[in-house]
Each structure stands twice: as C-alpha cells, then as structure tokens.
Amino acid sequence: MTRQPPSLLSRIALAVSSFFSIIASPEFASRVEQLREGELPVTPVTPVAAPAASAVQHPSEAPALQLLGLLQREARFIDFIEEDVALYGDADIGAAARVVHEGCRKVLREHFSLEPVRSESEGSRITLAAGFDATQVRVTGNVVGQPPFVGSLSHRGWRVTDTRLPHQSDSHNHAIVAQAEVEL
C-alpha cells in the first residue's frame, strides 16, 4: 500500500513536534541530522515523548507585571513605548529618552544586583571549551564543528545576583501596572 504525502496541516504539525523532539533529545537530533545528510536509511524512528507537564515550569506573571509597574511609575516606560514618536522631532525624543533612561536605571539599581556574565573586556579573544554553559554564552556567527570555539566577545552578558522586589498583598491586582489618574 502506497502512502499519500501528508497534507500541509499534517506537515506543519510534524514540523512543530519534530522541532520540540529535536530540542528535547540530543539522540533524536543526531538521527535527524544523519537522515538529512543521507547517512541513515529511512526507517521508522520512535518519537520522543513530550516532557511531562510537571517538568515544564509556567512562570508566575506577578513579578514581571510588578517590574513593568515599577518601570511605569519611575520612568513612564509604557507611556513612552506606546507613544507614536513619528509625531516628534529627534530632540524631543532624545529629551524624553533621557527621562525614561534615568527612571529605568533607578529601578534596576534599586531592585536588582547585576554583574557581567563574562569578566573579559568586550572585543577580547576568548576560547569556549567543550562543555561550556550555553545558558550563559550564545555563540553567533559562523558556528561550525564542535568546541573548543575561539571568538571575539561582542557582549559580556548580564547576570542577576539579587532581586529586591517589594512585597505585595495577595489581593493586589497584578494586571494593573499603572492606575488611571483622576485629578479633582
């Protein structure tokens, strides 16, 4: 019996599920790579099970919304981003950006401790040994082969070492990041 080629929707579903299987399983990714390079005969491959629901962490929205509220309160961040800046000249935008920058910087310094991920100066030549932590370093450019990689540090990265967000009551509506104001 001859199989019909899958429909467009089936191919999209296959691509999405294959994407997640490749991310979740180095072995599956290796087999796909070998298949694409013609090194493996086309044989059925047992699909990789999706990660268990308990393994996936759903982040709380509260801290993100709280940070957005702090940026709005101190820097009028949302007002600035939502403004149609095409209506203003560069000098006006620059003046507003200074106020937003100052307020954002205040929020960062008051509520977070930050340090660079890498200690070297930007532009320095560095070597990434095999087993480097890809959550800390993103390799860009012409990435070919396996580590060690030698390249130029284009950004030192940032790491949060301490967070000091204000405590909020359970009844606080986190979705309200800036209250409406009524002047009497």
The pLDDT of 98-117, averaged and rounded, is 95
pLDDT at residue 45 is higher than 80: no
The pLDDT confidence band at residue 69, using thresholds 50, 70 and 90, is: very high
Report yes or no on 41 lying in a domain: yes
Interatomic CA distance for residues 24 and 21, integer angstroms: 5
Strand spans (E) along 36-118: 112-116
Q: Is residue 85 part of a domain?
A: yes
Say yes or no: 24 and 88 in one domain: no
What pLDDT is attached to residue 122? 95
Q: Please, what is the Cα angle at 106 between 158 and 137, to 5 degrees? A: 5
In one-letter notation, the amino acid at residue 136 is Q
Domain co-membership, 80 together with 102:
yes
Question: What CA dihedral angle connects 11, 14, 16 and 17, to 10 degrees?
Answer: 170
The predicted-structure confidence for 143-177, as pLDDT tens digits, reads as follows 888 999 999 999 999 999 999 998 888 888 989 98
Same-domain check for residues 68 and 149: yes
pLDDT at 161: 94
Average pLDDT score, the chain? 83
Residue 143's pLDDT is 87
Looking at the fold, whether 71 and 45 belong to one and the same domain comes out as no
1 occurs within a structural domain: no
Q: Quote the pLDDT of residue 172.
A: 86
pLDDT computed for residue 60 by the predictor: 81
Asked if 78 and 44 sit in the same domain, the reply is no
Domain containing 100 equals: 61-138+145-163
Whether residue 41 is found in the same domain as residue 115: no
Are residues 30 and 88 both part of a single domain?
no
Q: What does pTM read for this prediction?
A: 0.61
Domain count across the chain: 2
Does any domain span residue 184? no
Are 21 and 89 within one domain?
no
Shared domain for 33 and 87, answered yes or no, is no
Q: Is residue 30 part of a domain?
A: yes
**pLDDT greater than 60 at residue 117:** yes
Predicted local confidence at residue 12, as pLDDT: 65
Residues 6+ apart with CB under 8 A from 69: 176, 177, 178
